[in-house]
Amino acid sequence: MTTDILEPSRAKRLKASTHETHDRLDTSIMAAAPFATIEGYGRFVTVQYLFHRDIGALYDDVALQAILPGLMERRRLPLIVADLADLGLSLPQDDTPPAFAQTAAIDIPEALGWLYVAEGSNMGAALLRKEAAKIGLSDEHGARHLAPTPEGPAAHWRTFTAVLDAAELTAEQEARAVAGANAAFARVQALVDARIG
Ligand code: HEM
């Protein structure tokens, strides 16, 4: 779409380029109504665990930390692990190795695309947190990973997108960022299809 290319903000271009995959994901998750029961919610947290396990290595990457100050504090995997423990669930097993490994060289533009999806999902989390509260879960029990940071989801997101927008990428690198974001959505969709749908 021409409008995607003209959009000055990279975050907004990523949003436009992944709009369809995100819509499909929201629809599949909400259609399965995982927030109606604790069991369903447990399956949702399982999906979150496997997605955040995929990107765990990104938060430890020195090059990414230099681009994104405070990156380590954005990691939600430990909160997801604590949520699973609250729910009495063991860590999910998956034969697929994580998408990013600590030992392998990380492609920065591709990683930015995956991080866009993980960080952006905090915006949806504000809504999901309210659903989780209806089944008795909270920021201290079972829904820790959906809790907003002290500055609030909107400000937290703006800090991230400002850095994302400022990163200097060539057109070819930008295409890899878009591919990374779409791969991240595809991974979450596959997990939802296999474990929630
Ligand atoms: C783990 C699953 C999910 C992922 C990975 C995800 C990803 C994202 C991303 C990347 C954004 C940022 C879009 C942008 O402004 O650039 C976003 C925003 C949002 N998401 Fe999702 N999402 C997920 C689940 C959901 C679900 C189930 C809902 C509920 C229907 C939802 C509703 C929203 C809403 C309302 C926004 C804010 C849109 C806006 O402010 O423009 N998300 N999500």
pLDDT tens profile 122-173: 999 999 999 999 999 999 999 999 999 999 999 999 999 999 999 999 999 9
53 lines ligand 1 (CB under 6 A): no
Q: Is 148 exposed, middle or buried (0-12, 13-18, 19+ CB in 10 A)?
A: middle
**Token pair of 135 as six digits:** 């089944």
CATH number of 80's domain: 1.20.910.10
Tell whether 17 is covered by a domain.
Answer: no
Tell whether 13 is covered by a domain.
Answer: no
Q: What atom of ligand 1 comes closest to residue 118's alpha carbon?
A: 5
Alpha carbon nearest to ligand 1 atom 21, residue: 124
Tell whether 149 is covered by a domain.
Answer: yes
Structural domain boundaries, residue 109: 36-195
pLDDT digits (tens, 9 = 90+) for 165-179: 999 999 999 999 999
Tell whether 150 is covered by a domain.
Answer: yes
Alpha carbon nearest to ligand 1 atom 4, residue: 121
Tell whether 4 is covered by a domain.
Answer: no
Whole-angstrom CA distances from 163 to 10, 125, 143, 173 are 10, 21, 28, 16
pLDDT digits (tens, 9 = 90+) for 71-124: 999 999 999 999 999 999 999 998 889 999 988 889 999 999 999 999 999 999
The predicted model scores a pTM of 0.94
34 lines ligand 1 (CB under 6 A): no
Tell whether 31 is covered by a domain.
Answer: no
pLDDT digits (tens, 9 = 90+) for 28-72: 999 999 999 999 999 999 999 999 999 999 999 999 999 999 999
Alpha carbon nearest to ligand 1 atom 3, residue: 121
Whole-angstrom CA distances from 15 to 8, 52, 98, 164, 175 are 12, 20, 24, 12, 13
Identity of the residue numbered 177: A
Q: What atom of ligand 1 comes closest to residue 12's alpha carbon?
A: 16
> Considering its fold, how many domains does the chain have in total?
1
Tell whether 19 is covered by a domain.
Answer: no
